[in-house]
Every structure is written in C-alpha cells, then in structure tokens.
Amino acid sequence: MALSDRVEWCKTGYYSSGRPPFSLDPLWHAGCYYVQEASSMFLEPLFTSAGGYMIYSTCTFNPSENEDIVFWLGEEMGALVGKLTGDPFPGVTEVPGNDRFAGYGLYPGRVRGEGFFISLLRKRGEAGYVVPSDRGVRRRGLKSSLLDYASVISGFSQQQIVADGDQIRALHAPEQILAQINRHVRVVRGGTELFSVKGSDIVPSHQVVSSPLYRRGALPERELSYHEALRYLRRESSPEWLPPGNAKWFVLSYRGVPLGLAKRAGNRINNYYPPSFALRKQSTPEVVSVI
C-alpha cells in the first residue's frame, strides 16, 4: 500500500494514496481488524468551530499518538487542556509527568483492564451548540416479553436493558451516570441498540448482531462466499441466500462471522445492511484476506 504526504499532527502518520487492500475483506467490515490512526483525520475539522469540549482518548501509550497530538492541537488550534483538581483517581498517572501536561495514562497493572490514554480539551470561544434537555431512558413499562427477547438475542443482563423511544438498548454504565452525562453533553449514541418495536413487530438491530454479546443461533444464519459477502456489503441481495425455514429475520455471515441482517419477503430478501456502512467500490477482486 503506497503512502502519500505525512499528516501534520502525528510524526508516524501518513495519508494513504490508495485504498487499503484489507477494506475489501468482508471481515474488516465485520469489525475483525484493528486499524490505527483512522480517527486522527477528524481531529482538525472538530476544532474549526468555536467553543465546547472534546475528550481525546486512545488505546495506546505511544507518545506520537497521545501527548504529541494534544500539544499540536494546543499550538496550532488553540486547544486548552483540562486537569483534575485535587488528588487523581487511584492508579491514574499524569502524562507526560512534567510541566507540559497533556492528559492521563491508565496503565495495565495500575488500573483494571488493558489501559488507555485520555485528555480533556477545551476549544477557545463560546460553545457552538446547545446541549439538549435530558430525554433520559426508562425501565418502567418495559414488558416482560421484551426483556425476555433481549435475553434471547444478547448476553446483556436485564438490569442493563432500557427503552429509548421505540428502541430497546443495553446500557454499559449505571442509568444514574448516563443521565448525568446526558444533562451535560450531546450523546450521539448511548449503549447498544438491541431491537426496536414497530407496532406488533420486533425489528432486530445491526448493532446487536455485530456485538460480541450477540447470542449466536438466536436468529437463523446463512453463510456467504467471499463474492456473495461483497454483494451483501454493497446492499445487494439474492434469493439464493434464504436460509431453510420460514423465519422473517436472519443473519448473513462470512467465515463464521456475522456481517448483518436480512429480512425474508416471500421468495426474495431485503438487505438491511446499514446504508452508511455500505461498500461503494463496484469492482470485485480476487479473494482478499489478511486475517
């Protein structure tokens, strides 16, 4: 894969002059690849509007991806770095640990988990948006049948299941904490969407079949070949992909990994792969597989 110009904010980062070959492996679209630096391209546009805060966090301890980027945002974009008052949480380390503060490192062995880097950045000027009023989420009124179906389709506990409008979600933190976050920041997506309720119908979500906590076998599954998988990722469909039986919803997979959902409509199927994720490239190469 050819490399082009170096990005300004990372000493080891370069723009790619061509499409990376792994992007034509269906397993990449299923979340089986770990791609570094993909989010760095969004940093500069986020600071073009005035005001507000941004949390910058990575799952690495590489200075070129952490403090160097924070310092670049401060020098070039006028970002201010927030610092905890009082004693930091146990196991949390200031980075880089001198007068030029950038953020905090949560290192394995000092905190639970694999660790990460985090920094709170403030943009100069007034905030350019208004935080919406707290919509909140509700557990009351959830029918036991919906809670039971959530347990059938996922490994989330029923204590994590809440309703958000017609969507049933699984929260990854206590409701009280999420409600507090909701009052102060604009939450784009909270938790994992399991399914939605449309009248008397239950519509499973792409998010749940993409989750490690999806219960395999909860929905019928049909394995696709490489070229069939690429067609599915382009939001095409074929009646040949129908699994045995009469189930309305089913999962299409590649090499044993779920790609997404499809719905039976008589003798044909409707492709429910999210349009925003769809593969745009039309050419079909020979089998690409890095994993």
Amino acid type, 147: L
Where in the chain are the domains?
36-122, 144-199
Distance CA 138, CA 132 (A): 17
**Confidence at residue 129, expressed as pLDDT on a 0 to 100 scale:** 45
For domain 36-122, the CATH superfamily is Vaccinia Virus protein VP39 (3.40.50.150)
CB atoms within 10 A of CB 122: 15
Amino acid type, 101: F
**Confidence at residue 1, expressed as pLDDT on a 0 to 100 scale:** 45
CB atoms within 10 A of CB 166: 11
**Confidence at residue 181, expressed as pLDDT on a 0 to 100 scale:** 75
Please report, rounded to a whole number, the percentage of residues in the chain having pLDDT higher than 90.
36
Distance CA 73, CA 119 (A): 12
Cite the beta strand spans of the chain per DSSP E.
3-6, 14-16, 53-58, 80-82, 92-95, 103-106, 116-122, 161-164, 167-170, 192-198, 201-204, 221-224, 249-254, 257-265, 268-271
CA 105-107-108 angle, 5° bins: 165
Mean pLDDT over the full length of the chain: 82
Strands 249-254 and 221-224, how do they pair?
Answer: parallel
Distance CA 192, CA 290 (A): 28
Which strand ranges, in their side-by-side order, compose the sheet holding 167-170?
Answer: 161-164, 167-170, 192-198, 201-204
Please report, rounded to a whole number, the percentage of residues in the chain having pLDDT higher than 70.
78
pTM over 0.85: no
- What's the pLDDT tens digit per position in 109-126? 888 888 899 998 887 765
Question: How many residues belong to the chain?
Answer: 291
Cite the beta strand spans of 19-156 per DSSP E.
53-58, 80-82, 92-95, 103-106, 116-122
Cα atoms in the Cβ-side hemisphere of radius 13 Å centred on 288 = 16
Average pLDDT over residues 249-265: 96
> For the ranges 58-62, 146-150, 184-188, which has the lowest average pLDDT?
184-188
